[in-house]
Structure 1
Amino acid sequence: MLTDVSISRLTRGRAGRKTPDDIQSLLFRLWIVAFALKMVGSSWDVAWHFKWLRDDLAPPHLLNVVGSVLAMALVGLHWYTGFGVDKTAKRLLEVGIAIFMVAIPVDVINHRVNGLDITSWSPSHALLYIGTALMLAGCCRTAAGHPVVQGVFFAFFLENWHFPAQHQEYGVLELRSWDAGRPYAEPSLLEFAAKQMGRPVDRVMVEEFSLPVSDWVYPLWTLAGGMLVLVVARRVIGRRWTATAIVTGYLAYRAAMWVFLDLAHFPASLLPVFLLAGAVTIDLCFHYLPNSPIAGALLVTMAGYAALFAQAFFASAPPYAYAALPVAGLLLSIGWYLTSRPLRLPPAAERIGRPLRR
């Protein structure tokens, strides 16, 4: 339940001013609501685009807009009052929401000019992810000293990072539905995509629609980038099993959305269960190999790849290139090493209020 805060207390001030506990708690809760709305709307949007033609006013878009409007209002509140942020966090929030708001009309224009945007990896979509990532980075900074809240923001960050990879997780089952003679995509969507590709509606076209990127992309994005997000979260929060808890929460959310979308007769997706192996290995490495980022990165990469292989063998997984294993290990090693330097975070108890009370 949200705390009642008098408007008269939201006075003009500079970033970094001491924030009362009830105002800080309200800000955290509102940010969580904003990102939750954006996340649910985005998850629904992926399934929507694997079934129907794009629609600017589709329900998932509107749900995402509500979350974005709330985020914009919160950025304005931080800017005006200075509550809940230091200068760095304030800057991250402002730049993030600016990029996101620019990305919306850019994406609409892109669709008007180029038609169906078949992949999640397009430049206009990347602007949306980058804007959201910067806002989440600002929120993670504001939550210093509040491990549970900070963990929630890092879970949102992981979801935002992993989001484009869902194209492959949906695409595998989309292609399988075609092979089974019961395609998820409506005929109008397949015909539109085929016309844009300049070929008939056949399996080659459906495969290009469903899995449009190289087999290198998925393992590099998830096992280098996704694991690095968890490494940073584990280091910043500093609690045991931080990475494991974040991935568990993310997978629980994806499973719940899978049930909701299935009940609503939307396409299903694969769940990236293999991420859990990498997360557990990260937590173990921080405990038993605290000063060995290179060894930790190699162990995490091997554990993640082994789990991805097992998921593909026993259930199903998106296509992945074995040759990407050493590249993913190298990228994660570099990222882990670079993020192992001393952190400079705001003194939360003095500048941004005390931990959130339950």
Structure 2
Amino acid sequence: MSLKQAPARIIGWALPYWTRGTAGRETPAELFRVLYLGWLVAFVFKVLGSSWDVSWHFRWIRDDLAPPHLLNTVGTVIAVGLTIVHWYTGYGVDRTASRLIQWGTGTFLIAVPLDLINHRINGLDITAWSPSHALLFIGTAFMIAGVIRGYFVGAPAGRMRTTVLTILFGFFLENAIFPSQHQEYGVLGLAAWIRGEPEAEPALLDFAAETLNRPVDLVAIQNFSLPVPDAVYSVWAGVVGMIILVMARIMVGRTGTATMIALGYVAYRMLIWPLLVVIGFPGSAIPFFLILAAIAVDLAFLIPLPAYIRPLVGTALITGGVYGGLYLQDLLVEAPPYAPGSWPLAAGLLLATWLLTELFVRRYRLRAEDAVAELR
């Protein structure tokens, strides 16, 4: 098939499926594979764009049409197209998955102009933890959750199902950790400025200082690089990041799931780091501690315990993995700034969240064995 013939062949294949239907409609296997391959491609573009975006903003003044934004937009356009397909045809999703995808995509699309307006008013909007940015992360989280749900209920049992669900949870983890990259880049950016080798362009440093009504001094650079309390990093990773890995272990149902996700994410960060640095962009502290924390998640599921006892033991193991991992990383290589004394807060929140997760999992039958039983 030539390149000229390809569009016509693709349209000819897709048109018979373009019929109105309700969510939960029986989906041909080939169409199901194409839809979820489309989601994987969309998320790859979004992750590549977002990874470059953080590094970009630690060097240049913000630009709406910056290459990272355009790369991310490619993924967003694909996601919007797939959302419309699911909504109109009902193929590839049940009602819950369709609603999650629609709410997530809608929230993301609403957040984009709000974020642009926010930057027009507030300039750099220095922290990644701002309300407009939060809407972008939340929208993406709902979107990925819907895709996970759709694949969970629709994919046949087997190695492909396990692999794709694991990859989707990897995207979920990346989205959750994304705002924390501000601290991961900031800790190295601040150190570079103190050494007299700033990574940011002078125009960005001047603009950031002016936003804070200060000269370009240590206080201004510290507020630009590390604008939130150190506890935010460790508590966020110890609660939100870890509950995603817990859910992944429950829904995928395979030993080592959490560890594989963390290894994949850290490997990606190790790959993208030199690529960015080689082309002249700042590097970041890589969250190696996530590997030890993920091993703790998997260990918690190896212990034969009742569902509502496991969170108690698991919280102790995982909190030790997160804070112990951060401590070891700080000894061996550069670690993001964290607050060791915040561990009781992280542990308490993780335990409460895990107990609620157990109720949620039971209510909506989200264990791996539940889906396999339904498929049979």
Query: Structure 1-normalised TM-score?
Result: 0.95
* Cross-structure match for 1:307: 325
Cα 1:272–1:248, aligned 2, differ >3 Å: closer, same or farther? same
Q: Which moved more, 1:286-295 or 1:194-203?
A: 286-295
Q: Secondary structure in 1 aligned to 2:283? A: coil
* Counterparts of 1:238 and 1:256, CA distance in 2: 28
| Equivalent residue for 1:344, pick from 347, 354, 364 | 364
- Conserved? CA contact 1:143–1:348, under 8 Å: no
Q: Mark the CA change 1:181 to 1:317 in structure 2 (over 3 Å): closer, same or farther.
A: same
Q: Deviations over 1:255-286 (max 9, x none)?
A: 11112101111000011000111111111110
Q: Which structure 2 residues correspond to residues 234-245 of structure 1 after superposition, within 5 A?
A: 234-245=249-260
One-letter amino acid of the structure 2 residue matched with residue 297 of structure 1:
T
Q: Secondary structure at the match of 2:358?
A: coil
Code of the aligned partner of 1:344? Y
Query: Which residue number corresponds to residue 50 of structure 1?
Result: 58
Alpha-carbon deviation of 1:349? 7.6
Is 1:147 the counterpart of 2:159? The answer is no
Report what 2:345 is aligned to: 327
In 2, are the aligned partners of 1:289 and 1:296 still within 8 Å (CA)? no
Once the two structures are TM-superposed, the CA of residue 9 in structure 1 deviates from its matched residue by 2.6
Equivalence for 2:94? 86
| Residue 349 to residue 240, structure 1, CA distance change in 2 (3 Å) | closer
- 1:49 partner amino acid: H
Match of residue 122 from structure 2: 114
Gaps of 5+ in 2: 1-5, 156-160
Q: State the partner residue of 1:35.
A: 43
**Structure 2 residue aligned with 1:259, among 274, 283, 292?**
274
1:51 touches 1:185 (CA, 8 Å); kept in 2?
Answer: yes
Deviations 1:211-264 (A, max 9, x none): 000011000011111111100110111111010011111111111111210111
Equivalents in 2 of 1:197, 1:64: separation in Å? 29
Residues 132-143 of structure 1 aligned to structure 2 (within 5 Å): 132-143=140-151
| Contact 1:230/1:279 (8 A) holds in 2 | yes
Distance in 1 between residues matched to 2:261 and 2:223, nearest whole Å:
33
Aligned twin of 1:206: 221
Looking at structure 2, the residues matched to 200 and 108 of structure 1 have their Cα atoms a distance apart, in angstroms, of 26
Amino acid at match of 2:341: A
SS in 1 for 2:178: helix
Match of 1:295 in 2: 313
Tell me if structure 2 keeps the 8 A contact 1:173–1:270.
yes
> Among 192, 200, 214, which residue is 2:207 paired with?
192
Secondary structure at the aligned position of 2:25 is classed as coil
Amino acid at match of 1:6: A
SS of the aligned residue for 2:230 comes to: coil
C-alpha distance in structure 2 between counterparts of 1:6 and 1:85, whole Å? 17
Where 1:143 maps in the other structure, the secondary structure is helix
- Structure 1 residue runs of 5 or longer lacking an equivalent are none
CA RMSD of aligned residues (A): 1.9
Write the distance in 2 (CA, Å) between the matches of 1:197 and 1:344.
Answer: 48
Question: Aligned match of 2:240 in 225, 240, 245?
Answer: 225
Alignment of 1:182 with 2:200, yes or no, is: no
Give the corresponding residue for 2:3. none
Alpha-carbon contact 1:96-1:134 (below 8 Å) kept: yes
How far residue 350 of structure 1 moved from its aligned partner, in angstroms, is 10
**What percent identity do the matched residue pairs reach?**
50
Kindly indicate which of the two structures has a greater share of residues assigned to helix: 2
Task: Specify which structure has the bigger relative contact order, considering alpha-carbon pairs within 8 angstroms and separated by 6 or more residues.
Answer: 1
What SS does structure 2 have at the residue aligned with 1:120? Answer: coil
Q: Is residue 162 of structure 1 aligned with residue 180 of structure 2?
A: no
Contact 2:17 2:89 in 1 (8 A): no
Structure 1 counterpart of 2:111: 103
Structure 1 residues 350 and 234 mapped into 2: Cα distance closer, same or farther (>3 Å)?
A: closer
| Range with bigger deviation, 281-290 or 195-204 | 281-290
Say if 2:81 is the partner of 1:61. Answer: no
- In the TM superposition, residue 348 of structure 1 has moved relative to its aligned partner by 6.2
Question: Secondary structure of the equivalent of 2:364?
Answer: coil
Q: Secondary structure at the match of 1:183?
A: coil
In the alignment, residue 278 of structure 2 is paired with which amino acid?
A: L
**Residue 143 of structure 1: CA displacement?**
1.3
- Residues 86/348 of structure 1: CA separation in 2 closer, same or farther (3 Å cut): farther
Query: What is the aligned partner in structure 2 of residue 249 from structure 1?
Result: 264
One of 17, 34, 55 as aligned partner of 1:9: 17
Q: Distance in 2 between matches of 1:246 and 1:170?
A: 22
**In structure 1, what is the Cα distance between the partners aligned to 2:164 and 2:221?**
42
Indicate the SS of the match to 1:170: helix
